[in-house]
Structure 1
Amino acid sequence: MLHSLKKHLKRIAPPKAILWYHKFLSKLAAAMYKHPSREMLVIGVTGTNGKSTTCHLIARILDATEHKVGMATTVEFQIGSKRWLNDTKMTMLGRFQLQKLLRKMVDEKVKYAVIEVSSQGIMQHRHEGIDFDIAVFTNLTPEHIESHGSFEAYKKEKGKLFEQLSKSVKKYSVTEPDGEKVYADNKKYTDRTTSEKICKTIIVNGDDPEREYFASFDAQEKYLYGIDDDSGDGPKGYGIVRATNVECKDQETTFRIGNIGFHLQLPGVYNVYNALAAVSVGLSRGMDFRQLSKILEGPMIVPGRFETIDEGQDFKVIVDYAPELESMKAVQSVIKGMNKNRVIHVLGACGGGRDAEKRPALGNMAAEVADIVIITNEDPYDDDPQKIIDEVAAGAKEQGKTEETTLFSILDRSQAIQKAINLAQTGDVVLVTGKGAEQAMCVAGGKKVKWDDRQEARRALLHRKTNRLSKA
């Protein structure tokens, strides 16, 4: 009922009325919870891909300080040592939920808040009730165009985070008897020797074609990061974080920044970029490369991001989000470099009008690398799930995949994952993409079905093992 009412109101309400409605709610929510973002140093991370992992890497770096960290991402939430999965099916929480979470962070004495900022959240002005101190841009590829109308509009929507940064209140970090605290601009702190003015900072992927746009916004400090053998200093006034000697091996990467080596237990060049963004945040907070290298060298698991599911089987099962072309390409680049037998790929495509024209392309791309492709349901919303599957399968057939031999269409996602596990042989890689650690599947009528690809993969592995033991 509520789902239908919202859809009806969107159809009849003038766009300007909806815009002002969202802006009003953002201001109201921030005021209701007494502007909690003004009592923390807030880092916003936006871009098309890599946002969640970048947030987790930033949180890991800041966790190494003496201060508590809070985080809100597509994957999970964090307040200090407590973490819990995001089961809302939203990258950026609604205005009141987000402000409530930020207030809880303040109450728990969090100093640093790391927030994943989506274009959809920006469209609904959820960012406007937050006073940011650092804005990070990861990359921009032509996704979600159906929501924005054009790539240029999508870019400008992302740019509004950086506009918000320049408009956010100034803050000071003040040392007090009971610890270090963050306060909004106030004259009584400006002359204190124990206070530090927090600089507004922009951090941009210098290898992205849109770097100039995102670096053009006002900020007191700016950093560009990238992978480049050029030893030049870069644009005047920018901090430059440049990785060299990048090597990727299986599910680990190594690189150097200057004369300091980094060992990252995450796969692929794309995670080097994510790490460089996080390193830039650490530098902006006064840390050095040697410290940062030490912090990032240990085991790192981001739920549902190239996560290995291990129940003692003699083949690999990997669950990754990768819901669109560029992120799938990044995951495939790692798969190609792995020592393996065959690749069995389980995937689907999103409904709800989201990039429908790219469904065949997803199937085509999957079939280019995988030996066996299994197309299944993902998040159909109000679309016909079988129609989505057929469109993805059409792309796989373009690569020569044939039904019931190297291509399977299975509506039930649980059965699709079980099929992949049952087909797997020694040395194979089973790749499950599209949902990662998401805790729900969105179906018709605005309903959400409880779901977790990782749990389904474990269940399928245990079912296979039980069946084999019973036949022995």
Structure 2
Amino acid sequence: METTRPAFAFLKKTMPRPAFKRLAPAYHAALAFFAALRYGFPSRRLVVIGVTGTNGKTTVVHLLHEIFRAAGFGVASASSQRFKVNDAEEPNLMKMTMPGRGWLQRFLGRCRREGCRYAILEVTSEGIAQSRHRFVRFAGAVLTNVRPEHIESHGGFERYRQAKIELFRRLPQDGFAILNREDESAPRFAEATAARVAWYSSSAIDVPGVGYPVRMVATGADRLELEVGGVLLESRLGGRFNAMNALAAAAAGLAFGVSLAVIADALRRFPGVPGRLEFVQRKPFAVVVDYAVTPDALEAVYIALSGGSPKSDLRPEDVRPSSVEGFKSRETRNSKLVCVFGAAGGGRDKWKRPKLGKIAGEFCKAVILTSDDPDDEDPTQIVSEIRSGMTSDQLRTTETILDRREAIREALRAAKPGDTVIITGMGAQPWFVAYGGKKIPWDERAVVREELTKLQ
């Protein structure tokens, strides 16, 4: 791979853009083939399971790693957060969920050398569009959900969905497609695959030949209890969306022969995913960090933390001054959320910015809009587009502070006992891409702890 990549790179740099665009599929497929050849097609000696969808991929990858590890297997996994081989892990510092073909094949080769039986990969639509999945023999694929995302880069929602369907189309007949019965796109995936289909939902898991009734026992902001086939599954994960993630992982485990008892043990011991509905502080007010970057994910997080529904309409007397000069927040019986977020730049999914603003306006008693990887876009313009989705009443309780650390500091100052400060968009990402494209080391949780210490 080291000898072929420079030649391919030279071709890409010297060829006119229109000509390269026509040849891009062949270019990416060739890179994938030579990478697999260089490392001896390692996936042929592994059971590789891909996890794709709009939201929840990372959590399901991490859950599956622990499930197969608890079952006694050697396991490797690659996600947007970390790379893990058995019990040794290292952070993903690439700011790339699905690394390039050479890296991926080398990683699979390492998995095999270190005695792994299973490899769990987080698979993205962008990665599929660039053939990063090619010449990886997938034995199974898990679909979390399909929501609008990456619309501009793919040229529409249908192309985005088709990119994800491509993973399932390549599954072998003896493989497994694990599908979310509650997602309206799931039938399209079932029709496209030759693999055996296992379904999961909030009421049942159905693997070929066996059905397991599901009962949602309890879901809170930091815990969930599910009964599957008469076995209680408990986890420190929170929110209904994580209940669905847990069911996706459980369905995949069952499809590949792991017992419910082992799955229950793995879920009980699972520590959670850093930066995913992670409580940094609980008292006197809670502070939570989450990655949510899509409208569906943001709404799901707000529902989990607020108890279920948007805040009620407010009277003028409900608006009170905050401790932060010029900043007002609303006191309501069902909203205790102080929300900090922005939207990524780089021309990514501009359509969702007003939707994010609308959702925050409906759920949060106070909003601070800030920078979130603005990259080559003016963060002032990004925030303006978010604000366009909010009503004039909601804008009265919305502040703009482009410096992300300062925005977090002001949210913590504004919070009262019993409130929840929820900071979304970065999660546990190790880099912040500032305006102009400069990458800055970043740890949202550490920033929160530092600012909390200053308040004491």
TM-score bin (small chain):
0.7 to 0.9
- Give the Å deviation of 1:239: 4.9
AA matched with 2:258? M
Identify unmatched segments of 5+ residues in structure 2: 1-8, 309-332
Of 296, 299, 302, which aligns to 2:267? 296
The reply on whether 1:284 has 2:255 as its aligned counterpart is yes
CA contact (8 A) 1:46 1:137 kept: yes
Which residue of the partner structure matches residue 436 of structure 1? 427
Deviation per CA, 1:82-139: give whole Å up to 9, x if none. Answer: 1222111111011112122222222222221110000000000000031111111111
Of 146, 165, 170, which aligns to 2:171? 165
**What does residue range 84-99 of structure 1 map to in structure 2 within 5 Å?**
84-99=90-105
- Give the Å deviation of 1:257: 1.6
Of 363, 378, 383, which aligns to 1:369? 363
CA contact (8 A) 1:40 1:112 kept: yes
Counterpart Cα distance in 1 of 2:412 and 2:213: 41
Which residue of the partner structure matches residue 199 of structure 2? 224
CA contact (8 A) 1:380 1:443 kept: yes
Q: 1:119 to 1:408 in 2, by over 3 A?
A: same
The reply on whether 1:140 has 2:146 as its aligned counterpart is yes
Of 353, 357, 375, which aligns to 1:359? 353
Counterpart Cα distance in 1 of 2:126 and 2:421: 32
The reply on whether 1:317 has 2:287 as its aligned counterpart is yes
- Give the Å deviation of 1:316: 0.9
CA contact (8 A) 1:393 1:409 kept: no
The reply on whether 1:334 has 2:304 as its aligned counterpart is yes
Paired residue secondary structure (2:170): helix
AA matched with 1:436? G
Of 412, 416, 420, which aligns to 1:425? 416
Deviation per CA, 1:191-227: give whole Å up to 9, x if none. Answer: xxxxxxxx41111111111121212244453210101
- Give the Å deviation of 1:238: 6.1
Of 53, 63, 71, which aligns to 1:65? 71
Counterpart Cα distance in 1 of 2:206 and 2:178: 14
Which residue of the partner structure matches residue 193 of structure 1? none
Deviation per CA, 1:163-216: give whole Å up to 9, x if none. Answer: 22239xxxxxxxxxxxxxxxxxxxxxxxxxxxxxxx411111111111212122
CA contact (8 A) 1:224 1:240 kept: no
CA contact (8 A) 2:82 2:89 kept: yes
CA contact (8 A) 1:67 1:110 kept: yes
- Give the Å deviation of 1:445: 5.4
TM-score normalised to structure 2 length: 0.86
Of 330, 338, 342, which aligns to 1:344? 338
- Give the Å deviation of 1:432: 0.5
AA matched with 1:75? Q
Counterpart Cα distance in 1 of 2:154 and 2:13: 18
Counterpart Cα distance in 1 of 2:214 and 2:19: 50
Paired residue secondary structure (2:171): helix
Which residue of the partner structure matches residue 115 of structure 1? 121
Number of equivalenced pairs:
423
CA contact (8 A) 2:83 2:91 kept: yes
Structure 1 consecutive aligned stretches of length 4 or more whose deviation exceeds 6 Å: 5-10, 338-341
- Give the Å deviation of 1:290: 2.8
AA matched with 1:370? C
Of 400, 404, 414, which aligns to 1:409? 400
- Give the Å deviation of 1:66: 2.1
CA contact (8 A) 1:47 1:139 kept: yes
Which residue of the partner structure matches residue 234 of structure 2? 263
Paired residue secondary structure (1:93): coil
Of 153, 167, 178, which aligns to 1:203? 178
Paired residue secondary structure (1:77): strand
Paired residue secondary structure (2:95): coil
Deviation per CA, 1:32-75: give whole Å up to 9, x if none. Answer: 11112122211100111111111111111011022221111112
AA matched with 1:223? A
CA contact (8 A) 1:203 1:223 kept: yes
Counterpart Cα distance in 2 of 1:242 and 1:427: 37
Which residue of the partner structure matches residue 156 of structure 2? 150
Identical counterparts, % of pairs? 38
The reply on whether 1:464 has 2:451 as its aligned counterpart is no
- Give the Å deviation of 1:280: 1.5
Counterpart Cα distance in 2 of 1:451 and 1:7: 32
Taking only aligned residues, the RMSD between alpha carbons, in angstroms, comes to: 2.5
- Give the Å deviation of 1:271: 1.1
